Chains A and B, each alone.
Chain A
Amino acid sequence: MTTYHELDPVEAKITARDVSVFYGDKQALDSVSIDIATEYVTAFIGPSGCGKSTFLRTLNRMNDTIANARVEGEITLDGEDIYRSGMDVVQLRARVGMVFQKPNPFPKSIYENVAYGPRIHGLSGSKSELDAIVERSLKRAGLWDEVKDRLADSGTALSGGQQQRLCIARAIAVDPEVILMDEPCSALDPIATAKIEELIGELKGNYAIVIVTHSMQQAARVSQRTAFFHLGKMVEYGKTSEIFTAPREERTKDYITGRYG
């Protein structure tokens, strides 16, 4: 079975214990337990509707926006229960950023897209400080050279891959500790995908990165830890290399070898 705790000697950034999610009467996730560390990129794989995106969205409480969604179990960030009463969701999301499946820049300028987060959280004292944050974030997202001369252009005028990198820049501008990525490359072409994957490799170590992906090749390329979800349950969690070469569970093996999916 799952061997979430003995796996790594490193300290966990996020721990989840027996997390179940219900949409009304329908159970979408069943007792998932996992540890996520800053040192690794963690990938969630599994067929459509297996609960991997649902689980990802519990980590920054984006499920709160869905009416009649209910979460059971315990999720902690640095040992702090994020579902306790009195937890400030706004503060949580400043610490746990998110990148979505479809690039969703605001219909504002490139500069405004990146500056929005620091501005609402009051992270910069002055205009020059804000300029520096925007530049640093765009550089980290590998977009600076392409857009530095047209920061006032609309973020929606960029290509799909650039938009997604802009969204990543927007997420890291608030300096989060964790970045959640929900199939960030599913709407992108292979070249843009390669750039995002390269970017994930560069960001690794600074942030705990959790990525949901449909592509097993992508999981194999970018992640060091992989969790396989099936029918609302986490079937197996382990080192990516082991999951793909020597899965312990029959279902994992079937999925990886393409018997279903």
Chain B
Amino acid sequence: MTEHARLERELKAARLATQLARRHRADRLFRIAGMAAVAFAALVLAFLLLTMTANGIGGFKRAELRVPVDLASGVLQVDPAQLAQGDPVRVLETAGLPQLLDSELERAYGAGGARLALDGAWRELAQRIARDPALLTQKIDAWLPASGDLAGGLRGEGTPETVSHARALAAGGNLATHFDPGFLSRGDATSPQDVGIWGALKGSILTMLVTLSLAFPIGVLAAVYLEEYAPRTRWTDLIEVSINNLAAVPSIIFGLLGLAVFLGLFPNWRSAPLIGGMTLALMTMPVIVISGRNAIKAVPPSIRDAALGIGASRIQVVFHHVLPLALPGILTGTIIGMARALGETAPLLMIGMRAFVASPPDGLTSPATVLPVQIFLWSDEIDRGFVERTSAAIIVLLLFLLAMNGLAIYLRNRFEKRW
């Protein structure tokens, strides 16, 4: 009997040992698989960021040509006082700045020299003079944007003559790539030498403001009502299902809705951030409602009981206790919804935000485009100069996204209560 018991115990130990080895192996394998997944994700992210930065940095630069300009030669008949009165660029144009620049270019680089600089390069010179009228009495070396052809030649693209011409100019110190701060302050243009991202960035900011100020209050109020007030009936079930479905609707459908409803109502506001923001708000609202409801549901019922028990009214319970505790969760949902809206292109194409808009929008109702649409438009351009500009625009979009998320995370941490 004791022998039997001993054998049985040994058998059990042996079985346990084989089982145990198998269990440990499974554990190890799972851990390795998990680490591999994380490593893969990190690798892809690093690759994305590295290539983007490597390509995009070039997008913040452009080829510029050195032009010696003698502003004091007496060709320009401008009184500095005049500049302060009217539009200085216009004043300098009538005073003959474009012609002066052309002749200076011909003098420096021979016949055909005027075509080496970008059309309208005189405007940048005019703006510099407007900022510093003292230049009018000086002889200056101005670095002005090179023409598209010359910029291509510097990159080694175009006809062999252009390339060798560009190389010769660069070797002589007359052509170089310089950091282009104007990229962050100009609007869209036809030449990659002259484009800027500010128009699209401002359009995005305005659109996001409209989206946030519509989707956040409506979404939160809907979530509060459904969670705290609405009785559970077939109707509220139906509403819940509808909202969940709304969050899954492809974004282009919202674009069609915006086209049919909002542009139908306000036909004069085509391409306006107001209409774009309203369309994106439709898309963002269900995300906020769903996350808001979950956050409100997660507030312990004991807190509601406590407040009701000392005679708080329902609205006091909601605004004094439930919402402050649910706010971090609501903000998380809002970040996700807003990030999605910021990156959205399709619905905005439907309401005309893909138009070529050269000047940054001055208000909610003036025509605009947004960053992702601008990226889409530039990536479609034939001119090779747009490749780097597109990467630069992507960097701006990502930084904007990062700033927005950073703000939301900061707010969330501020409101987070622990207990």
Q: Which residues of A contact B (CB under 8 A)?
A: 60, 62, 65, 67, 90-94, 97-100, 102, 104-107, 116-117, 120-121, 154, 156, 167, 170-171, 173-174
- In the complex, the answer to whether A120 meets B312 with C-beta atoms within 8 Å is yes
Q: Which 5 A-B pairs have the closest CB atoms?
A: A156-B419, A93-B311, A104-B302, A98-B309, A94-B311
A60 to B303, CA, bound (A): 17
In the bound complex, CA of A92 to CA of B310 (Å):
9
- The interface residues of chain B lying within 8 Å CB-to-CB of A94 are 310-311
Contacts from B to A (Cβ < 8 Å): 231-232, 300, 302-313, 316, 320-321, 325, 417-419
Q: Are A93 and B308 in contact (CB under 8 A)?
A: yes
16 contacts between A and B (CB under 8 A): A62-B308, A65-B308, A67-B231, A93-B308, A97-B310, A98-B310, A107-B303, A107-B419, A117-B311, A120-B312, A154-B419, A156-B418, A156-B419, A170-B310, A171-B309, A171-B310
**Which of A90, A154, A171 has most chain B Cβ within 10 Å?**
A90
B309, A100: Cβ atoms under 8 Å? yes
B321/A97 in contact, CB under 8 A: no
If the complex has contacts A154-B419, A156-B419, are A105 and B306 also in contact, measured as CB distance less than 8 A?
yes
* Docked complex Cα distance between A100 and B306 (Å): 8
Q: Which residues of A contact B307 (CB under 8 A)?
A: 106, 116
A-B contacts at CB below 8 angstroms, number? 69
A106 touches B303 (CB 8 A): yes
Residues of chain B within 8 A of A154, CB atoms compared? 419
Collect the chain A residues with CB atoms within 8 Å of residue B306's CB. Answer: 100, 104-106, 167, 170
Of B311, B418, B419, the contact of A91 (CB 8 Å cutoff): B311
The majority secondary structure among interface residues of chain A is helix
A111 to B44 CA separation, bound complex (whole angstroms): 52
Q: Which B residues lie within 8 Å of A106 (CB)? A: 303, 306-307, 321
The DSSP consensus for interface residues of chain B is helix
Q: In the assembled complex, which residues on chain A have CB atoms less than 8 Å from the CB atom of B232?
A: 67
Please name 16 further chain A to chain B contacts, defined as beta carbons within 8 Å, in addition to the given A67-B232, A90-B311, sorted by A numbering. Answer: A90-B312, A93-B308, A97-B310, A98-B305, A98-B309, A98-B310, A104-B305, A106-B306, A106-B307, A107-B417, A116-B307, A116-B312, A120-B310, A120-B312, A167-B306, A174-B310
Cβ-defined partner of A120 (8 Å) among B231, B302, B304, B316? B316
Residues A100 and B305 in contact in the complex (CB < 8 Å), given A67-B231, A107-B325, A107-B417 = yes
Q: Which residue of B lies closest to A113 (CB)?
A: B306
Most buried by A among B232, B310, B320: B310
- A99 closest partner in B (C-beta): B309
| B418 in complex: contacting residue of A90, A92, A100, A107, CB < 8 Å | A107
Shortest distance between the CB of B305 and any CB in chain A (Å): 6
B311 touches A121 (CB 8 A): yes
**Could you tell me if B311 and A120 are in contact, using CB atoms closer than 8 angstroms?**
yes
Complex: how many Å from CA A187 to CA B300?
Answer: 17
User: Chain A's nearest CB lies how many Å from the CB of B91?
Assistant: 64
| CA–CA, A261 and B58, complex, Å | 80
Smallest CB–CB gap between B227 and chain A, Å?
13
Separation of A97 and B309 alpha carbons in the complex (Å): 6
Shortest distance between the CB of A240 and any CB in chain B (Å)? 26
A23 to chain B, nearest CB (A): 14
**Given A67-B231, A107-B417, A154-B419, CB of A62 within 8 Å of CB of B305:** yes
CB distance from A5 to the nearest CB of B (A): 29
Of listed B306, B307, B311, B417, residue having the most chain A CB within 10 A: B311
Bound form: Cα–Cα A14–B78 in Å: 95
Across the interface, which residues of B come within 8 angstroms of A97, CB to CB?
309-310
Are A93 and B305 in contact, CB atoms less than 8 angstroms apart? no
Q: Do A60 and B309 touch (CB < 8 A)?
A: yes
Do residues A65 and B304 form an inter-chain contact, with CB atoms below 8 A?
Answer: yes
Residues of B near A98 (CB, < 8 A) are 305, 309-310
